[in-house]
Amino acid sequence: MPEVRNWQLGRSMTYPYPEHHPDWQFAFVFNINRCIACQTCSMACKSTWTFSKGQEAMWWNNVETKPYGGYPNHWDAQLLGLLDAAHEAAGVEPAWVGETADPEAPYGSYEGMTIFEAAAREQPQLQQALGYLPADDEWRAPNIFEDVTQAGRPAPGSLGLESGGAELPEHTAWFFYLQRLCNHCTYPACLAACPRKAIYKRPEDGVVLIDQSRCRGYRKCVEACPYKKSMYRPTTRVSEKCVACYPRLEGADQASDGVPMETRCMAACPGRIRLQGLVPVDPDGAWADDPQNPITFLVRHEQVALPLYPQFGTEPNGFYIPPRWAPRPYLRQMFGPGVDRAIERYRAPSRELLAVLQLFRASQKVIFRFEIEEGPKVFETEIDGKPWAMYDDTVIGFDKKGREVARLNVEEPVHERPAPHPNSI
């Protein structure tokens, strides 16, 4: 089986197909810290793509409440369990070792098995990827455990979970919202598992699509996708998945003015937690060093946004700024060993990072390049015992044609109304 380079694992891994990379890669950064789970993204997607019969339980975009919520129910806990069992059977420790200076291995090296390697270890190899097929009822309640707080104070050594239940009204439970859509992986498990070769990754933007004319409804993709973002539709007897709003991405939308636009779920976010982009990719698969691309800047230069479950091995292209308050062992399991550094940098952001964070939801157009104009120092404090200063810099975003599409200051403008009308409208 071919060896492919997975930068998120800091090593090569086996994959059914040899490396072949797109020119650009659809990618996004979600700031979990800002999400209020209003589900506007979910509804924007649903009203655009999955409003028809047979798609009732189909949410290409969903927001689930961690640690207990999940769509389909417990998707991540189930796969982590399968992967753990595989490691136990193989006598392998699924550990991350050593951060390296190698910019192509920002999180160190993953010594455990990916879902592809765990499947290949079985001889004969029955499947292309370790996975499971969730039943109908597991898809029906997309956030069923949202308000069931059974967790107590973070308990060290057990992912911060307690079995004693909630102690209301003290509100000692922790939770956070996880926003999910197809990660348009570099090494998609759905594509690997499809015996029909009906799934393909577009060379122009890395978007992963299911050919609706070739799919025969075998559901191997549903079984193999670790994120469970390939979904079966009973009315057409074939599977469907997130299409990354490709007409918008292609600049075919009437409002796009011929340049790539963000997807519906991104553009609809009222909490401004989402930033979607297109990342230039070198022929060898490495992200081109383009520090003025906001996604590349956040993921590779500041390393403040992390892949979701990188140990699965699909090299997902969705990245998350992890929540500051959740127990670190849980977050490390979910986002890998880069969690502590990411939170540290998010808590005390660099001058540049603070400016780029303003670009989230600043424009419907995909921002390909940003520039920063320096402003005055407006605030000083101490964070984690270290001095920290805030500058009212201006960040400017440019679309694919190099036209300015966003201009924002770090400090939001404040207008104080004159005294005679303090409360008038």
Partner 1 sequence: MRDWIRPDVRSLGLAAVGLAALLSLAGVPVTSAQGTTLFPARVDGSLPVDAPFDPAWDRVRPVDVALSGQPIVPPMRLEPAFPSVRVRSLVNGDRIAVLLEWTDPTRDESVLGVDVFADAAAMQLALGSGTSICMGQRAGGLNIWHWKADWAADLAVRQDLEDVHPGLPADVHFPTPEGDDSFGPDGFLAGQAAGNPRSAASLVSSVEDLNAVGFGTLTTQPPEGQNVHGASEHRDGVWRVVMSRALSDGDPNDAVLRPSGPAAVVAFAVWDGSRGDRDGQKSVSAWLALALPQQPIGLLDAWPVLLLLLVGLGLSGLVLYYGARQPAVGLGWPHGRPDGGATG
Among residues 163, 213, 254, 424, which is the contact residue for partner 1, using CB under 8 A?
213
CA 14 distance to own-chain centroid: 23
Name which of 264 and 400 has its Cβ closer to partner 1: 264
Q: How far apart are CA 252 and CA 261, in angstroms?
A: 9
Q: Tell me if 381 contacts partner 1 by CB under 8 A.
A: no
| Binding-residue total with partner 1 (CB under 8 A) | 41
Residue 241 contacts residue 210 (beta carbons within 8 Å): yes
Name which of 200 and 388 has its Cβ closer to partner 1: 200
Q: Tell me if 264 contacts partner 1 by CB under 8 A.
A: no
Among residues 11, 34, 74, 196, which is the contact residue for partner 1, using CB under 8 A?
196
Q: Is 120 helix (H, G, I), strand (E, B) or coil?
A: helix
Instruction: Kindly identify the residues of this chain, within the stretch 28-57, that bind partner 1 according to CB under 8 A.
Output: 51-56
Among residues 70, 134, 323, 327, which is the contact residue for partner 1, using CB under 8 A?
134
Tell me the one-letter amino acid at 303.
Q
Q: Tell me if 169 contacts partner 1 by CB under 8 A.
A: no
Could you tell me which residues come within 8 angstroms of residue 406 by beta carbon, excluding any fewer than 6 positions away?
Answer: 359, 362, 363, 367, 395, 396, 397
- Counting every residue, how long is the chain? 425
Q: Tell me if 125 contacts partner 1 by CB under 8 A.
A: yes
Q: How far apart are CA 294 and CA 363, in angstroms?
A: 13
> CB under 8 A: which stretch of 79-87, 142-150, 214-222, 374-382 binds partner 1?
214-222
Backbone angles phi, psi at 9, to 5 degrees: -95, -10
Residue at token pair 């500041």: 302
Among residues 37, 79, 86, 238, which is the contact residue for partner 1, using CB under 8 A?
238
Q: Tell me if 240 contacts partner 1 by CB under 8 A.
A: yes
- Long-range CB contacts (< 8 A, 24+ apart) of 382-386? 383/347, 383/348, 384/344, 384/347, 384/348, 386/348
Q: Is 129 left (phi over 0), alpha (psi -120 to 50) or beta?
A: beta
> What does the per-residue mask of binding to partner 1 show for 392-411, with x meaning CB under 8 A?
--------------------
Instruction: State how beta strands 306-307 and 318-321 pair.
Output: antiparallel
Minimum gap (Å) between residue 269 Cβ and partner 1: 25
- Long-range CB contacts (< 8 A, 24+ apart) of 325-329? 325/174, 325/176, 326/66, 326/160, 326/174, 326/175, 326/176, 327/154, 327/159, 327/160, 327/174, 329/156, 329/157, 329/159, 329/160
Residue at token pair 């009212």: 392
Among residues 40, 109, 172, 236, which is the contact residue for partner 1, using CB under 8 A?
236
Minimum gap (Å) between residue 194 Cβ and partner 1: 8
Minimum gap (Å) between residue 144 Cβ and partner 1: 17
CA contacts within 13 A on the Cβ side of 300? 23
Name which of 113 and 278 has its Cβ closer to partner 1: 113
> What does the per-residue mask of binding to partner 1 show for 93-122, with x meaning CB under 8 A?
--------------------------x---
Q: Is the peptide bond before 72 cis (omega within 30 degrees of 0)?
A: yes
> CB under 8 A: which stretch of 34-42, 131-139, 278-286, 351-359 binds partner 1?
131-139
Q: Is 373 helix (H, G, I), strand (E, B) or coil?
A: strand
Q: Tell me if 197 contacts partner 1 by CB under 8 A.
A: yes
Minimum gap (Å) between residue 133 Cβ and partner 1: 5
Name which of 215 and 308 has its Cβ closer to partner 1: 215
Minimum gap (Å) between residue 111 Cβ and partner 1: 25
Among residues 100, 158, 235, 350, which is the contact residue for partner 1, using CB under 8 A?
235
Among residues 81, 103, 156, 195, which is the contact residue for partner 1, using CB under 8 A?
195
Site residues for partner 1 per CB under 8 A: 51-56, 119, 124-128, 133-136, 139, 193, 195-197, 211-220, 222, 231-238, 240
